[in-house]
Amino acid sequence: MSRKKLIAANWKMNLTLEQAAEWLAEVEENLLEHHADVVLFPSFIYITDLMDLYQGEQILFGAQNCSHLETGALTGEVSAMQLGSAGVDYVIVGHSERRIHFGETNEAIKQKLKMALKHELFPVFCCGEPLDVRNAGKQEEYVSRQLTESLFALSADEIADVTIAYEPVWAIGTGVNATPEQAQEMHAFIRQQVAKKYSGKIAGEIRILYGGSCKPDNAKPLFACPDVDGGLIGGASLNAEDFLSIVMAAK
- Of residues 6, 4, 92, the one with CA closest to residue 47: 92
Query: 112: alpha, beta or left, given left = phi > 0 and alpha = psi -120 to 50?
Result: alpha
Length of the chain: 251
Helix (H) or strand (E) holding 222, with range, is: helix 219-223
Active site residue 57: no
Residue 52 in contact with residue 39, Cβ under 8 Å?
no
Residue 88 in contact with residue 119, Cβ under 8 Å?
no
* CA distances, 113 to each of 67, 70, 161, 162, 192 (Å): 10, 12, 10, 9, 21
Select which of 95, 97, 104, 129 is catalytic: 95
Active site residue 68: no
- Of residues 62, 27, 51, the one with CA closest to residue 232: 62
Select which of 68, 104, 167, 187 is catalytic: 167
**Exposed / middle / buried, residue 57 (Cβ in 10 Å: 0-12, 13-18, 19+):** exposed
Residues with a catalytic annotation lie at 95, 167
